[in-house]
Amino acid sequence: MNRRLPRIAMLCGDGPSSWFMYNALAGEAEVLAVVVERKPSSRAMIRHRLRQLGWFTVIGQLGFIAFNRLLARIQHRRIDELILRYGLRADLPPAAITHRVHSVNAAAVRRLLRKLDVDAVVVNGTRIISRAVIECTDRPFINTHVGITPRYRGVHGGYWALVHDDAENCGVTVHLVDTGVDTGGVLYQQRIHVESSDGFNTYPLHQLAAAIPLMKQALRDVVDGTLSHRDGVGPSGLWYHPTLGQYLRYRFSRSIK
């Protein structure tokens, strides 16, 4: 008997990784809606980080973010090579199914999800999703995280694994979404293998390419009624952007690019 296509909605950040995931899933799922949230304001993000991390760390992170614009230009050939190697496509989803919102936590998003008859909600690159959104439907929310959880929650999990000489846990996780930061039950995990030509801006491409078949399998599990989760790899840790000082130190002392 032929398996029917999963019916999904997507909650996305406005960026290439979301389009890569959309195009990878579009041929193997019926995408009913793609909700794209506006990038949170830089001022609000800075205020949030100041409360958590303090001035010294945040200034260092802002320095790295500025420096990384140059780094991305330096690594652009490798980025293009990997996009071609993995067949990643950044075509925008059709306007008819695209809903642009200020935040995925808006009331309009809850109304949309209640109206749609989906099997699952695929999340990619959004802010933390509120309990009100998660509980507005009984369908699973499934996220791709570029790190092995819960050991590398937060951001840049592949980079931090390499910094800590933990290549065994340099990888990607497809997991259920709860109200924590990458704390939901693990569905699938996959290690990646980086090459000498890789760096900070190419690790996520390896991770996304590894995650796409895992996400497809998770959606098949939903349709088959076999979706199950497990604990990930501990201990749990929450990671942030490196500071410029940290990046340069690890670059020259450990050759982590």
pLDDT in tens, 87-116: 999 999 999 999 999 999 999 999 999 999
Bridge partners of residue 174, in order along the sequence? 144, 188
For residue 41, is pLDDT > 90?
A: no
State pLDDT tens for residues 50-77: 888 899 999 999 999 999 999 999 999 9
Encode pLDDT of 203-254 as tens digits: 999 999 999 999 999 999 999 999 999 999 999 999 999 999 999 999 999 9
What pLDDT does 1 receive?
55
Per-residue pLDDT at 149: 98
Report the pLDDT averaged over residues 6-32: 97
The reported pTM is: 0.95
Residue 143 clears pLDDT 60, i.e. is over it: yes
Write down the pLDDT at residue 24: 98
CA-based nearest residue to 201, from 164, 168, 242: 242
pLDDT category, 44, cuts 50, 70, 90?
Answer: confident
**With the CA atoms of 127, 130, 136 and 140 taken in that order, what torsion angle do they form, in degrees rounded to the nearest 10?**
60
Tell me the C-alpha to C-alpha distance, in Å, between residue 210 and each of 113, 191, 224, 230, 253: 28, 8, 22, 19, 29
Tally of CB atoms within 10 A around 136: 17
Could you tell me the maximum CA-CA distance found in the chain, to the nearest angstrom?
A: 60
pLDDT in tens, 153-207: 999 999 999 999 999 999 999 999 999 999 999 999 999 999 999 999 999 999 9
- pLDDT band at 139, cuts 50/70/90? very high
Residue reference for tokens 């078949």: 213
Buried b / exposed e along 48-76 (16+ C-beta atoms within 10 A): ebeeeeeeebbebbbbbeeebeebeeebe
Using the predicted structure, report yes or no on whether residue 2 has a pLDDT greater than 80: no
Nearest to 140 by CA among 19, 205, 225, 42: 225
The tokens describing 24, both together, are 């990878």
The pLDDT assigned to 3 comes to: 79
Summarize the confidence of residues 108-127 as an average pLDDT.
97
